[in-house]
Amino acid sequence: MRVTQAALEKVIRDAGAIGMKFFNDRKNMAVNKKAARDFVTEADVAIEAFLKETLTREYPEYGFWGEESGQSADQASRWIVDPIDGTHSFKKGQYGWSVSIALEVDGDIVLAAVYAPVFNDLYTAEKGQGAFKNGERIAVSDETELGDAMIATGFACLRNYLADNNLERFCRIAQRTTGQRRFCSAALDLCFVAEGQVDAFWEQELNLYDVAAGALIVQEAGGTLTDFKGNPGLFPKQILATNGKIFAQILPLM
Ligand code: 2AM
Ligand code: CA
Ligand code: CA
Ligand code: CA
C-alpha cells in the first residue's frame, strides 16, 4: 500500500473544506430527496465528486465506492467513502457531521480517516498501528460499570419502517445507564467510542460506507466490534461498538 497518512489527511481536509464552503452558505444550497425522508445536498455530491476524482487519479489501482455515486468496476481493493455522514445535521446547521474515508484491501479495512470539519477534528487509524485524533494516540474509556456509562445510538432504521426500530432497545438500555446521546453521524459516533467520549454505540440498518472507517478506528483504539449477538466483526446492519469493559453487561440488553 503506497498511500501515506499525510496524503490521506490532505485529501480529507480538502474534502472538509469543500463541505465548509457549502455549510457556511447553506441558505443557497440545493437540497434534493433520494427517497422519502432521505436528503441529499449539493455538498454531498460535490465532496464525493472531488474524492472520487482525486483518489482514482492518484491511486488507479483501487476502485471507488461512495454513497452518492455507487461502486466503480470490481477491483479487489477500493476506497469506501461517505462524503457527508450526517447530512440531515449538515442541512440544519448542526455541527456533528463528518467525511469518512476507508481503504479496503482484499476484503480488509487497512486505513481509515474520519474528519469533522466544524470541530476541525481528524480521527485516523491504520491496521495494527493504533488510532489517533489530531495526531495524538487515542484509546477507549476505562468505564467498567454499565450503570455509570454514557451510550449513543441512532435511528436510521426508523426511516425504513422496521418492526425492530430500536425504540424498545433504546428504552431498555437507557434505563440501565447514566447518559444517553444521539449525535447523528455513525462514523463520528464510532470515533467517540474510540476516544472514550461514549462507552458504547449501536445502530441498525447502516451501510458499509457509514461505518467502514469508524470501525477500524474503534478497533485500533482497543474497542470491541460485534453484531447484536456478540459475533465479532463488522456488521453494518447491526453494529455494536464498546470499550470492551462494559461489553458483557450491555450485550444481554441488545
Ligand atoms: P447519512 O447522513 O450519510 O445519510 C444516522 O442515524 C446515520 O444513519 C447516519 O450515518 C446516516 O447517514 C444514516 N442514514 C440516513 N438515512 C438512512 C436510511 N434511510 N437508511 C439507513 N441509514 C441512513
Ligand atoms: Ca445519505
Ligand atoms: Ca452515512
Ligand atoms: Ca452520506
Delimit the domains of the chain by residue range: 5-138, 146-253
At the top level of CATH, which class does the domain 5-138 belong to? alpha beta
Using one digit for the tens of pLDDT, what is the confidence trace for 91-100? 999 999 999 9
CATH T-level topology, domain 146-253? D-Maltodextrin-Binding Protein; domain 2 (3.40.190)
Residue 186 Cβ contacting ligand 1 at under 6 Å: yes
Q: Which ligand is nearest to the CA of 184?
A: 1
Q: Residue 119: its pLDDT value, please?
A: 98
Residue whose entry in the numeric block shows the C-alpha cell 477534528: 121
Q: H-helix or E-strand containing 10?
A: helix 5-23
C-beta separation of 143 from 250 below 8 A: no
Would the CATH topology of 5-138 be identical to that of 146-253?
A: no
The partner residues of 82 in beta bridges, in order of sequence, read 100
Using one digit for the tens of pLDDT, what is the confidence trace for 15-52? 999 999 999 999 999 999 999 999 999 999 999 999 99
Residue 138 Cβ contacting ligand 1 at under 6 Å: no
Its pTM stands at 0.97
C-beta separation of 12 from 56 below 8 A: no
Residue 212 Cβ contacting ligand 1 at under 6 Å: no
Ligand 3 (ion): residues with CB under 5 Å are 82, 85, 210
Mutate to test the pocket of ligand 1, among 81, 94, 206 (most ligand atoms within 8 A of CB): 206
Q: Residue 56: its pLDDT value, please?
A: 96
Residue 68 Cβ contacting ligand 1 at under 6 Å: no
